[in-house]
Amino acid sequence: MITNSTELSTYSQNYKTLSNLEQEHGSSFYLLDIDRLQMNYKKMETAFKSRYEKFIIGYSYKTNYIPYLCKELDKLGAYAEVVSKLEYDLALKIGVVPTKIIFNGPLKTKYDIETALNMGSILNIDSTYEMKYVKEHCLQNPDTSFKVGFRVNFDISTNGVSPLVEGFEKSRFGMCVENGSFQLVWKQLKELPNLKITGLHGHFSTANRSVSTFEKITQSLCDIVKEYKLTDLEYIDIGGGIFGEVPRSLISNTPTFDDYGEAVCKIMNKEFGDKKEKPYLILEPGISMVANTFQFVAKVVETKNIRNETFVLVDGSVHNIKPTMHKKNLPMRVIRSSVDDGSNRSDTYHIVGYTCLEKDYLACDVKSQMPLIGDFIIFENVGAYTLVFNPPFIKERPAVVAFYDGKTTIARKKESFKEFFNDKLYQF
């Protein structure tokens, strides 16, 4: 479909356009903003690359692996950061070259490890059991040379306070540096003549995503490189977990890409500035790359009053926009079917969903002119951990429509009964 607007926000502001999309895709669907995605990518790349040239963005597939999105990121130059064979195979299917796939994650089979080693993908092993597979494979193929990286785990707390999400004291990922687990694996693998230890990986999910945490991660990784004399080092991978451009209504005063870039690259330059062969710096953004590139559009089906509370029922569910069910209202817009002065109507309302769960609130205590039946509500910032977590619960999955330069493309069709209850999978 060709339209006159080149910006998604202007485009989706028009009731008629949403109506047309509804004809094709049903009364709820996602919109993917490709211009926004490109902007995020460029901004992030510039923030780091302008300060440290050898910089790689490895997009975290698990955050949102709509193939159309992953392919767009591949075109922009991103590596694919995957944490399962499923994601690895997706990267291959959309045409990512194997050497641009970063294979992380706590669970890898012998087959996964062999594939990654043979294909020359960036493989970061997470635990000791993976070492066994690597070792076996190297010994069985003595004439081929392979590369491996380690996900390491070290204390990142400050004054005894852990910055990890949900108050976790210790991360469960990677190999512990302090207790010698990492050292044990390193010792065994460095003896293999056809294996090079080429990288270190440190990803931590922290609650406040602070710049100082990233300084700590970067510095600790550099210190391990020096302590263990990793002379074949090709990359330092500081993981993901930075803030993107977050709407003020959700959190204010978050660091910018430049703030992170400045802090991290300063350390990289200090550590490697005088080296002829500098290692790559890898960042694995998820949320920060895609959260603000998706919107969810849902039509108002009913408005009702129950003992003085007003409920606006939409063809959507909290699962579509915030599967973690956090309490904050997302930024949203009401696209009205008709001009209406809104007088004599409640101006505080809840937006509730189609499921039979009492807690299915898409937004609570919204204070604005109440929507009417037939209006559309657009929820913004729904790109991260929504479509991938979105259980096909009670209804089929909605469509995803990509918008770029005034044109729309179907990135995913609305799921049908046949696809939902696949004959090949289920016994009827």
Ligand X SMILES: *Cc1c(COP(=O)(O)O)cnc(C)c1O
> Which positions touch ligand X (CB under 6 A)?
60, 62-63, 81, 83, 104, 203, 239-241, 284-288
Question: Which residue lies nearest ligand X, judged by its C-beta?
Answer: 286
Compare residues 57 and 366 and give the one whose CB is closer to ligand X.
57
Compare residues 261 and 285 and give the one whose CB is closer to ligand X.
285
Query: At 48, which helix (H) or strand (E)?
Result: helix 34-49
Compare residues 206 and 346 and give the one whose CB is closer to ligand X.
206
Q: Minimal distance in Å, beta carbon 163 to ligand X?
A: 13
Compare residues 33 and 81 and give the one whose CB is closer to ligand X.
81
Compare residues 149 and 241 and give the one whose CB is closer to ligand X.
241
Compare residues 46 and 205 and give the one whose CB is closer to ligand X.
205
Q: How many CB atoms lie within 10 A of CB 390?
A: 18
Q: Smallest Cα–Cα separation from 395: which of 6, 9, 27, 2?
A: 27
Residue 20's contacts (CB-CB under 8 Å, 6 or more residues apart) are: 1
Q: Minimal distance in Å, beta carbon 229 to ligand X?
A: 25
Rg (CA), the chain: 24
Q: Minimal distance in Å, beta carbon 247 to ligand X?
A: 17
Q: Minimal distance in Å, beta carbon 85 to ligand X?
A: 15
Q: Minimal distance in Å, beta carbon 152 to ligand X?
A: 12
User: Do 401 and 26 contact (CB within 8 A), yes or no?
Assistant: no
Q: Minimal distance in Å, beta carbon 58 to ligand X?
A: 8
The residue type of 39 is: M
Contacts of 372-375 with C-beta under 8 Å, sequence gap 24+, read 372/300, 372/303, 372/336, 372/337, 372/338, 372/340, 373/300, 373/301, 373/302, 373/303, 374/299, 374/300, 374/337, 375/299, 375/300, 375/334, 375/335, 375/336, 375/337
